[in-house]
Structures are given as structure tokens and as C-alpha cells.
Amino acid sequence: MTARLLVIGGAERHRPGGEAILRRFVDLAGGPQADIVVIATASGEPATLEAEYATLFTRFGARRARGLRINTRSQANDRGVVHALAPATGVFFTGGDQQRITGVLGGTLVDAALQTLVKGGAVVLGGTSAGAAMMSGTMITGGVAPGVARASVRTGPGLEFLPGVVIDMHFAERGRLNRLLSAVALYPHELGVGIDEDTAILADGDRFEVLGTGAVTVVDAGAATDIVVPAEGPIALAGARIHVLPAGSRFELTGRRPAILQKETAA
């Protein structure tokens, strides 16, 4: 079995493609046998999001869906909380502040248990917005300055469920291409993956598929001929590749190769 990750760009609950994306998560978790845990550590209103997602997952066919409250590191190191994860076939992280997820869970017993369950294929892991950002090793935590520069992005360590990438969310809607270009220039060994709202990637092993109504933008600095990152001012990034991948497209992470779904055009 390989790790299966459903990484959502945000705003899927009330958008056209969101139902299909969340139904896909339930199917991956076992359909009518699915036992889904919702973790809203990132949110300032965890009870509201736990209840909302649990209701959606149950409506979409899961046998059971429930919130698991983890607000402190002591809770994340509680063996009773770890035990509550054991029967889960799917774990879903809500949006909010991604730094709360890493600050509360990073290095704890819950983190270790999730890593084992996900990498062993026993659990499908889903996350939206902040719950998506935390899945990469290098995590984008903020940045709104204009241009491609050090000041345009802030980063920190993620939980690294999907190594080798840096993920940005709400991508097209919030105009975050400059931020992702800045991140990839700073970390050229990472693939930049910008996911639009109401859009997701389904990662399985070393490849992913695009789902939803938007697109996924991949920035690859591997072939760049020049990268110059001054302490201040614009970054120079020459020869990098950018791929824009709509639903149905696939991408090989190891080979860094896209495969675009060809759609018929109207006559």
C-alpha cells in the first residue's frame, strides 16, 4: 500500500466541485465502511467545523464520522487520543491556521501514529486550506508582499506527509503565483504546487491526479538556468517550468512530468 492524500485548495464546502471531492474522500476511506476522524486543530471554532464535516461525510455515505479534539500538545501526546485514531480509515484536517497544526501536533505521539497509518496505507489523509498546507515538508505560512522576493513568502516546517513539494492554497483566487515562485526560488529542490479553491490533488505514491473545478499550478525550478536570491529586492529566476493542470490531469512527482487530459473542443 502507498500513502493516499487528498489535498484541497480550500472553499470546497459550498462550491460546485466540493461535493464530488468530499464524496471521493469518503469512497477512498471505504465508502459505507468508512470511519472518518475530523481534526479541526487549525480552527478557532473547532466544534463548528468538526460537526459540519462530520455531517457532510455521513451524508455522503460514511458509516461513522466524528471530531477528535486536539488543541494542546498534551492532548496530542495522550495515548487515549492516539487510541481513538486506531479504527479510522480516513483522517481529515480542516482549514484555519496551519501553524497551529504543526505547533500542536509536530513530533507528538499523534503525529507519529498518523505518519505510520498514512504511510502504511491504512488511512487516507485529507486536508483543506491550512490542512493542505501542512502536508508539505516546507510549509508556506504567509506572505503578501508584491513581486518575487524573499519578503513575498514566509515559510516553516510542515508535517511532510507529501515530501518534495511546497503547497499553496486558495491559489488563483488570492493571486498567489508570486508567493509560490518566491518559495520555489528559495527552495529549488521542492516542487511548487498551487491549488485553486474547489480543487484538489489526489496523491497516490509518486503521482497525483487533479480533481475539481479549478486548476493546479506546478512550478518546477529543477531546470532553472539561474536563481539569484538577494537579501532584498527582486529574485532572478530564469528557465523554471510552469504547468497549469485542470481536472483529469496527472503529474509524476519523481519524473516531474505532467500528463494533460485532452478534452474535445466545440465545433
Q: Let me know if residue 266 belongs to a domain.
A: no
C-alpha cell at 15: 462550491
Q: Print the domain residue range for 102.
A: 4-259
Please report the pLDDT score of residue 267 as a whole number: 46
The strand ranges marked E within the chain are 4-8, 35-39, 64-67, 90-93, 124-128, 138-142, 154-157, 165-169, 191-195, 199-204, 207-212, 215-220, 226-228, 236-238, 241-246, 250-252, 257-259
The answer to whether residues 54 and 64 touch, using CB atoms and an 8 Å cutoff, is no
Count of beta carbons in the 10 Å neighbourhood of residue 228: 10
Q: Let me know if residue 69 belongs to a domain.
A: yes
The answer to whether residues 177 and 244 touch, using CB atoms and an 8 Å cutoff, is no
From the candidates 12, 50, 190, 197, give the one annotated as an active-site residue. 197
Please report the pLDDT score of residue 264 as a whole number: 54
pLDDT averaged over every residue in the chain: 95
Question: Which residues, at least 6 apart from 266, have a Cβ–Cβ distance to it below 8 Å?
Answer: none
Identity (one letter) of the amino acid at 159? L
189 a catalytic residue: no
Q: Let me know if residue 206 belongs to a domain.
A: yes
The parts of the chain modelled with pLDDT lower than 50 are 266-267
Please report the pLDDT score of residue 1 as a whole number: 64
CATH assignment at residue 105: 3.40.50.880
170 a catalytic residue: yes
pTM of the model: 0.96
Nearest residue to 96 via CA among 67, 132, 72: 132
Please report the pLDDT score of residue 259 as a whole number: 86
From the candidates 170, 182, 190, 249, give the one annotated as an active-site residue. 170
Q: Let me know if residue 82 belongs to a domain.
A: yes
243 a catalytic residue: no
Q: Let me know if residue 87 belongs to a domain.
A: yes
C-alpha gyration radius of the chain: 18
Please report the pLDDT score of residue 158 as a whole number: 98
From the candidates 43, 129, 136, 182, give the one annotated as an active-site residue. 129
Q: Let me know if residue 264 belongs to a domain.
A: no
Separation between Cα atoms, residue 149 and residue 235, nearest integer Å = 5
Q: Collapsing DSSP states into helix, strand and coil, what is residue 26?
A: helix
Q: What is the pLDDT of residues 62-73, one digit of tens each?
A: 999 999 999 999
Please report the pLDDT score of residue 83 as a whole number: 97
Separation between Cα atoms, residue 199 and residue 7, nearest integer Å = 9
Separation between Cα atoms, residue 240 and residue 184, nearest integer Å = 10
Provide the number of structural domains found in the chain. Answer: 1
